[in-house]
Amino acid sequence: MRKQIAAANWKMNLTLQKGEELLDAILAIPQELKTNQAAIFAVPFPYLAMAKQKVAGKQNVFIAAQNCYSKLNGAYTGETSVEMLQSLGIQYVIIGHSERREYFNESNQLLAEKVNICLENNITPIFCCGEALEIREANGQNAFVANQLEQSLFHLSAEEIVKVVIAYEPIWAIGTGKTATSNQAQEIHAFIRAEFAAKYGEAIANNISILYGGSVKANNAVELFSQPDVDGGLVGGASLNATEFVAIINALK
Ligand code: PGA
């Protein structure tokens, strides 16, 4: 089902204690999530169990990992498998964040394997795509994103693709305070949805959630999320502040 999602990406921030305090503060502020809405917290691996416990019994609130490995188990020192995540009750994992693509050389091919292993193990991938500034300046964003989708997702069946959440995150807007305008976001989200429609048909495309990421804040979330093809946001910096993030959750359609 196409959901409206506010997803927090804590990245490599906060200690266990600070993370607990932040979750407590957010969960203490009353917020009504409708059945088609979800709040997701992508926390660092060592905090997954704590976070999972904190949200136990909360409707439409989920915990995500920020990454996973492409193999099920074995001699891969330092890696985390989907089986491990599943054993903690984790239902979502961010796949292919631009920071992982850039600093850890994650290729479209590797990300296809990660998406596969998530789906095979009933974990929803939040698949990130998006272009760098030079590409945007040369107006090459559509072709660039289309290629990311093609290489990492288009091998999936229609039944599988509706289980994937997309996060479009222009790299030039991440952590820079430079948000895409709501028109820019709508334009490329509509393009992404059209790509899914061309490959899988309109009905499937209309069932896929496409989140926007890149300097989403309380003061721009309503405008961004009001766009017809923007189904919420993947939020870094502003997700580390309780009142900011609750305002972003409340900005969901
Ligand atoms: P930002 O990060 O909100 O700090 O720009 C977004 C992201 O990287 O997911």
Q: Is the CB of 85 under 6 A from ligand 1?
A: no
Question: Ligand 1 centre from 74 Cα, in Å?
Answer: 32
246, 39 contact by CB (below 8 A):
no
Rounded Cα–Cα distance for residues 199 and 235 (Å): 28
What pTM value is reported for the model? 0.97
| H-state helical runs in the chain | 16-28, 48-54, 82-87, 98-103, 108-120, 133-137, 141-152, 158-161, 182-200, 202-205, 218-225, 242-250
Mean pLDDT of the chain: 97
219, 235 contact by CB (below 8 A):
no
The larger pLDDT score, comparing residue 178 to residue 95, is at 95
The pLDDT tens digits of the residues spanning 188-242 come to 999 999 999 999 999 999 999 999 999 999 999 999 999 999 999 999 999 999 9
Residue that is written with structure tokens 């490959």 in the block: 199
Q: Is the CB of 129 under 6 A from ligand 1?
A: no
Q: What is the pLDDT of residue 30?
A: 83
Q: Is the CB of 102 under 6 A from ligand 1?
A: no
Residue that is written with structure tokens 């059209």 in the block: 194
Q: What is the CATH number of domain 4-249?
A: 3.20.20.70
Nearest CA to ligand 1 atom 2: 236
User: In 10 A of CB 140, how many CB atoms?
Assistant: 14
Question: Ligand 1 centre from 73 Cα, in Å?
Answer: 30
The pLDDT tens digits of the residues spanning 80-121 come to 999 999 999 999 999 999 999 999 999 999 999 999 999 999
Question: Ligand 1 centre from 75 Cα, in Å?
Answer: 32
Q: Is the CB of 234 under 6 A from ligand 1?
A: yes
Query: Pick from 60, 44, 57: which is nearest to 93 by CA?
Result: 44
Rounded Cα–Cα distance for residues 142 and 165 (Å): 18
Instruction: Write 152-155 long-range contacts (CB < 8 A, 24+).
Output: 152/96, 152/108, 152/109, 152/111, 152/112, 152/115, 152/127, 153/112, 153/115, 153/127, 154/199, 155/112
Q: Is the CB of 96 under 6 A from ligand 1?
A: no
Question: Ligand 1 centre from 238 Cα, in Å?
Answer: 8
Query: Pick from 147, 168, 155, 161: which is nearest to 230 by CA?
Result: 168
Any idea how long the chain is?
253
Active-site pick, 99, 106, 169, 195:
169
Measure CA of the first residue to CA of the last residue in the chain; give whole Å.
15
Query: Pick from 206, 173, 213: which is nearest to 192 by CA?
Result: 206
Q: Is 137 a catalytic residue?
A: no
Atom of ligand 1 nearest to the CA of 94: 9
189, 227 contact by CB (below 8 A):
yes
Q: What is the pLDDT of residue 176?
A: 86
DSSP state of 174: T
Atom of ligand 1 nearest to the CA of 216: 3
Atom of ligand 1 nearest to the CA of 174: 5
Q: Is 169 a catalytic residue?
A: yes
